[in-house]
Amino acid sequence: MKTLQQAWQHARRRRAAITVLLGLPWALAAAALALRLSGFDIACVVATVALLLIAAVAKTRARQLDRRWLQRRLDASGASEDSADLLFANAATLNPLQQRQRTHVLAALERNLPELRPRWPRRAVALCWIGGIAVAVLALGWPHNAAPGTAALATPQGSSQAGPLRLQSTRLHIDAPAYTGQPTRTQNALDAKVAADSRLSWSLRFDRAPSKAWLQFHDGRRLPLREHDGEWQAQDVARTPVLYRVVSEPALADTRLHRLDVVADRAPTVRVIDPAASLVLGSPGQRKWTLRFEASDDHGVLPQATLSITTTQGSGENITFVRRSVTLNGSGEATARRFAHTLDLAALGAQPGNDVIAQLEVRDNHAPTAQVGRSSSVILRLPSTEAVLGAELEGRIKKTLPAYFRSQRQIIIDAEALIRERRGVAADTFIKRSDAIGVDQRILRLRYGQFLGEESEGAPKPPPTSDLPTSDTPAADAHDDDHEHDHEAQAGAHDEHGHDHGGAANGRDTPPVFGSATDVLSEYGHTHDHAEAATLLDPQTRATLKAALDQMWSAEGELRQGRPEQALPFAYKALAFIKQVQQAERIYLARVGPELPPIDEGRRLSGDRAGLASRALPLAARTPLDPAVVEAWQRLGDEGGTPDLNMLAAWQQRNSAFLPDALDLAAAIEQLRIEPGCTECRQRLRAQLWRALQRPLPQVMRRSAADAMGQRYLDALEAQP
């Protein structure tokens, strides 16, 4: 069966390949015709559409060789003995005779599989390629100009015919700098977006030869066009965005502006991957520190980078800095390189209490001067000996408290399991098991109540930390069903005062161990360990824990009445509150005095105030808005008003660096200069000026005058002594 599947796929691929070979020459011919008639851009669009169409037809024709086609082909060849339909039927639905015939046909096909691939249509392929290449050659090689006789009949006066000039063809050749990696391209459109420092070459052809022609830029610069073999050419280097038009004598019929956007090379950017935070607290005894960076650039980053490492030593005013540099080699693509390095803290001389600061510096491949990019600084702070001791003490305190918050999940699991088993359990047994789960909920509620300073119902003391589960998994929280009656016994062993001074929490008398401080205190004293621990919780955490106890109380009541379905919502809410308590921050401050470093008297200020002056900085006056620009904006709003376009053009050139889009404003000015009566052009220029005008600073709103009632109230206030 596998061999048959492979032969089937080969047949479909052969069908698709034949379709592609038949369609490619006609796609080539269509692209050549579009190039000749409409230019390079339209030719690219036509070629893309033709290739997509060929691919779609090839895929459709390949899918036509479906399973029904395969069955007909096998039956027609005689290899399947007219039983090809059995090959694709479900074997479980076939009777023994059909299964035997199916096995026989498969064995026969394995021995002698017929050829399923269609034959190559060599003659049709050859004719298509000959015809397509012929059409392409004729389209590209046909003369551009008409015959001399025809031209003489059409224009008897030759080059001296009257009327404006017209552009027959335009071509802009763009050669980007080598560091960008962009290929050289040629386009028919005179509008373009190019990389900075690209070399531009214009080649224009007119319907008749002008006396002279040039490119007029919006900043007043002229670039003359020189005639060569019937084409007028000019070269320039793109450095700033400009607007320009083609000007000739006699004048051109089309005088529209063309936009040339120049994209400057951006400096590389460096992102810190590891560590994730800018400040990292080291661990005691840490010897290594791994750093990873990613440098990206629009054109490429050099493979080598410099890692600057600064180590601070000392504290207070006695801090010294030791700087080092390491050269790193990057990996990955040029536009997104990654740099990694592992610092040896011992080799750097970093001691506890010191800081290690790292920063990566990369350069791009911009020519002739590379641009520099730096990452943000990352700091490794090695803890001092005092900080380590304080952290260890805080860790011990923190680890004891969450150990008791790990049973609510198992109560929910037991309740859900009981609900699933409801149909197979007797009603009395169901209520008894639900009541047992309610007892577990009650014991857990009392444990949490102890952390709020509550001592009620004679609840058993929390077990030692070593006896509690150390995982939040359900397995670690599971309670044995054999202990359900023990929980009920514990639930009843209490007094109304909430104190149990006599015996153990489980109701059994356990003789004290001689010499044990814990047993002596529990035998003759009264401990309030958990009430004191409750003071370590902040008010918000205490409120959250109180909300969890309320939900546990509601869940317990439903469980004790044999309604676990109604208890689940309360149990889930209690679990959510418990999770918030587990994640709460608790802060412990060490009650020790500050240990300040000794003061180096040699580094203190001498007290000499000679040469000191006031450091008050003068307020820089805000540049007032040019009133002529405001007046021009107002005149554009009037139907008969005509602004001074020369003044606006000069103002635009002076403030081009601060305008949101200087080229759009320049284009609007030039368009209105060409068409003074164009209402749409006036509105467009007015909109561009509105975007360029500075917004006035917000002023304090004057309080509105009081109404009659308010005035009476103010008068009454003034009348009071």
The pLDDT score that the predictor gives to residue 588 is: 46
What does the mean pLDDT of the chain come to? 76
Q: What is the pLDDT of residues 250-296, one digit of tens each?
A: 888 877 889 999 998 999 999 999 998 888 888 888 889 999 999 99
What is the distance between the alpha carbons of residues 549 and 719, in angstroms, rounded to a whole number? 58
Whole-angstrom CA distances from 639 to 92, 673, 684 are 88, 16, 14
Closest C-alpha to 286, from 335, 337, 348? 348
Ranges 73-87, 254-268, 462-476, 522-536: which has the least confidence: 462-476
Question: Tokens at residue 575, please?
Answer: 């679990």
What is the distance between the alpha carbons of residues 115 and 563, in angstroms, rounded to a whole number? 72
Closest C-alpha to 645, from 624, 668, 679, 678? 668
The pLDDT score that the predictor gives to residue 698 is: 66
What is the distance between the alpha carbons of residues 437 and 445, in angstroms, rounded to a whole number? 12
The winner for highest mean pLDDT among 140-149, 225-234, 447-456, 484-493 is 225-234
The pLDDT score that the predictor gives to residue 137 is: 85
Instruction: Using the predicted structure, report yes or no on whether residue 223 has a pLDDT greater than 90.
Output: yes
Beta bridge partner(s), residue 320: 313
What is the distance between the alpha carbons of residues 210 and 202, in angstroms, rounded to a whole number? 16
Averaged pLDDT for residues 641-664: 81
The pLDDT score that the predictor gives to residue 106 is: 73
78: left (phi over 0), alpha (psi -120 to 50) or beta: left
The pLDDT score that the predictor gives to residue 234 is: 93
For 332, phi then psi, to 5°, come to 100, -170
- Residue that wins the pLDDT comparison between 316 and 127: 127
Decide: 289 and 356 in contact? Cβ < 8 Å.
yes
Averaged pLDDT for residues 331-339: 92
Q: What is the pLDDT of residues 421-469, one digit of tens each?
A: 888 888 889 999 999 998 889 988 888 887 776 544 444 444 443 333 3
Closest C-alpha to 350, from 322, 389, 317, 316? 322
For 174, phi then psi, to 5°, come to -115, 120
For 504, phi then psi, to 5°, come to -75, 170
For 285, phi then psi, to 5°, come to 80, 15
The pLDDT score that the predictor gives to residue 720 is: 74
Q: What percentage of residues in the chain have a pLDDT greater than 90?
A: 22
pLDDT band for position 142 (50/70/90)?
A: confident
Instruction: Using the predicted structure, report yes or no on whether residue 405 has a pLDDT greater than 90.
Output: no
pLDDT band for position 390 (50/70/90)?
A: low
Instruction: Using the predicted structure, report yes or no on whether residue 611 has a pLDDT greater than 50.
Output: yes
The pLDDT score that the predictor gives to residue 617 is: 66
pLDDT band for position 220 (50/70/90)?
A: confident
Radius of gyration (C-alpha) of the chain in whole angstroms: 44
Q: Which residues of 66-93 are buried (b: 16+ CB within 10 A; e: fewer)?
A: eeeebbebbeeeebbeebbebbeeeeee
Closest C-alpha to 419, from 570, 556, 562? 562
Instruction: Using the predicted structure, report yes or no on whether residue 508 has a pLDDT greater than 50.
Output: no
Instruction: Using the predicted structure, report yes or no on whether residue 538 has a pLDDT greater than 90.
Output: no
Chain position carrying tokens 């022609």: 213
Chain position carrying tokens 């955490």: 541
The pLDDT score that the predictor gives to residue 297 is: 92
SS3 content of the chain, % helix, strand, coil (to 5): 45, 20, 35
The pLDDT score that the predictor gives to residue 501 is: 38
Question: Tokens at residue 152, please?
Answer: 């003489």
pLDDT band for position 496 (50/70/90)?
A: very low
What is the torsion angle, in degrees rounded to the nearest 10, for the CA atoms of residue 67, residue 69, residue 71 and residue 74? -130
Using DSSP, state whether 76 is helix, strand or coil.
helix
pLDDT band for position 62 (50/70/90)?
A: confident
Q: Which residues of 574-613 are buried (b: 16+ CB within 10 A; e: fewer)?
A: bbebbbebeebeeeeeeeeeeeeeeeeeeeeeeeeeeeee
Averaged pLDDT for residues 35-45: 82
What is the distance between the alpha carbons of residues 208 and 80, in angstroms, rounded to a whole number? 76
What is the distance between the alpha carbons of residues 523 and 525, in angstroms, rounded to a whole number? 6
Averaged pLDDT for residues 121-126: 87
Averaged pLDDT for residues 323-347: 92
What is the distance between the alpha carbons of residues 13 and 5, in angstroms, rounded to a whole number? 13
Instruction: Using the predicted structure, report yes or no on whether residue 626 has a pLDDT greater than 90.
Output: no
How many residues belong to the chain? 721
Q: Give the single-character DSSP code of 165.
A: B
Q: Which helix (H) or strand (E) holds 363?
A: strand 355-363
Averaged pLDDT for residues 706-718: 86
pLDDT band for position 529 (50/70/90)?
A: very low
pLDDT band for position 620 (50/70/90)?
A: low
Instruction: Using the predicted structure, report yes or no on whether residue 201 has a pLDDT greater than 80.
Output: yes
Question: Tokens at residue 484, please?
Answer: 């359900």
Averaged pLDDT for residues 241-248: 90
Ranges 272-276, 338-342, 410-414, 617-621: which has the least confidence: 617-621
The pLDDT score that the predictor gives to residue 406 is: 47
Ranges 185-189, 266-270, 714-718: which has the least confidence: 714-718
